[in-house]
Amino acid sequence: MPAIYYDDSSRNDPSSPSPPSPLPAIPHAHSYPLFNNTHDRPTTSPSCVELPALADFGTDGEVIPVIDFSQLASSEREQRKLFHAVTEVGFFQLVHHPITQEMIEGVQGEAAAFFGQAMGAKTGLALSNERGHGVRGYFGTFSENLDQYQQEKDYKGDIKEGFDLGLEQALSDLTDPEHNYTHTTNDAFASLFTCPAVTLRLLHYVYSTNGGGGRAGCGDLGVEYKKEIACGAHTDYGCFTLLHQDATGGLEVCDATGAWREVPYIPNAFVVNIGDMLQMWTGGLFKSTVHRVVYYREKQTGRPKDTDRYSIPFFFNPSPYVPVEALDINPKFPLGEGASTNTTNTPVAAQKRTCEEILMDRYSKAFGTKQGRA
Ligand SMILES: O=C(O)CCC(=O)C(=O)O
Ligand SMILES: [Fe+2]
């Protein structure tokens, strides 16, 4: 049974990059090269990247734009707002979409039932990688480390446990037919997004307290966890992500000034964000933005301290074997005129890799090296 371990050996390696400056000095995602990791962080910002002014961060007074799905086909205003969201903010919330609250609650219930099982039952379905199908299975607390920029000292990894349903080429074949939610989601979104591959993930942030002074603890696991960071600061790997967070909240986005901005919980809304692959593919036109999850603040949410958090991300991508290279569609930075969005002076177009290679590279970095996957 392939156990998943978090490998923190590189963090103790003196040759690793020196720790970054403390929060909130984290640079915006735009100032990082694409597909970077903690070991090849840039020392300079790419000159071709323009950071949005704070005033541009949102419309209608919203920090994170709220887009009305039901208006998108007919309203130019909504379309403009969406364009602003994907090119300037990298994040938006989608409301009035066809996924019902009942379906969302159904999946949350399934997630709670799955994660509520004895550990043995969960590790019996441990994560494995099947070529062409991505990663499927369970991973435990601290297995994934999304603290991509090493913002956190002595970080053990994210406190979430998760279940990946793998990368499916056929949208209609995502899960068991009984799982109405994913099928309806596919039908609803397939008409809007023609992505051939989607990965559904269930996440459970283990917030059961063990007297850690109001901070998250993992008493059940015998590990005291005193960090307020539940999922480290990172950018997403793929094209774009649709995520349902629950009322616990805690998702935050890094704005152009380096300040963390809350993505407020809107009942039934999906949070949508652009990933690095789409940023690269659009020659930097679409923005992939740094985000993280913080342990919820009781005062803000009014929820009891030890309420666990369930989130349901869908990761949308092209087919695994599709080669991904930058397209010359960014009027600000046409390719060939210093358009590279990385700092290595390698033209973006020369970074041609398949979707699967890009995703697996990032995946294995986030999970460390001891997971026994190819
Ligand atoms: O759980 C969340 O709200 C965010 C998770 C996330 O950012 C991710 O899995 O990439
Ligand atoms: Fe993410």
Q: What is the pLDDT of residues 314-344, one digit of tens each?
A: 888 877 777 887 777 776 665 544 444 443 3
Q: pLDDT-based confidence at 42, cuts 50/70/90?
A: very low
- In the numeric block, which tokens belong to residue 64? 């994170």
- In the numeric block, which tokens belong to residue 154? 């002595």
Nearest to 306 by CA among 223, 206, 165, 187: 206
Residue having the nearest C-alpha atom to atom 1 of ligand 1: 311
Element spanning 314, H or E: strand 309-317
Eight-state DSSP code of residue 71: G
Nearest to 30 by CA among 53, 52, 49, 9: 49
Eight-state DSSP code of residue 280: H
What is the value of ipTM here, to two decimals? 0.99
More confident position, 189 or 367: 367
* 291 within ligand 1 shell (Cβ under 6 A): yes
* 231 within ligand 1 shell (Cβ under 6 A): yes
Q: Is 101-170+189-208+225-331+351-366 CATH 3.90.650.10?
A: no
- In the numeric block, which tokens belong to residue 211? 């007297």
Annotated domain spans of the chain: 101-170+189-208+225-331+351-366
Whether a cis peptide bond, with omega within 30° of 0, leads into 267 is no
* 251 within ligand 1 shell (Cβ under 6 A): yes
* 65 within ligand 1 shell (Cβ under 6 A): no
Residue having the nearest C-alpha atom to atom 9 of ligand 1: 313
Would the pTM count as exceeding 0.90? no
Q: Which conformational region is residue 284 in: left (phi greater than 0), alpha (psi within -120 to 50 degrees), or beta?
A: left
Residue from 265, 311, 316 whose mutation best tests the ligand 1 pocket (most atoms within 8 A of CB): 311
Name the 3-class secondary structure at 139: strand
Nearest-ligand number for the alpha carbon of 271: 1
Task: Report how many helices (DSSP H) and strands (DSSP E) the chain contains, helices first.
Answer: 7, 15
Residue type, 44: T
* 93 within ligand 1 shell (Cβ under 6 A): no
Q: pLDDT-based confidence at 313, cuts 50/70/90?
A: very high
3-state secondary structure labels for all residues of 39-54: CCCCCCCCCCCCCCCH
d(CA 293, ligand 1 centre) in Å: 7
- In the numeric block, which tokens belong to residue 161? 């446990």
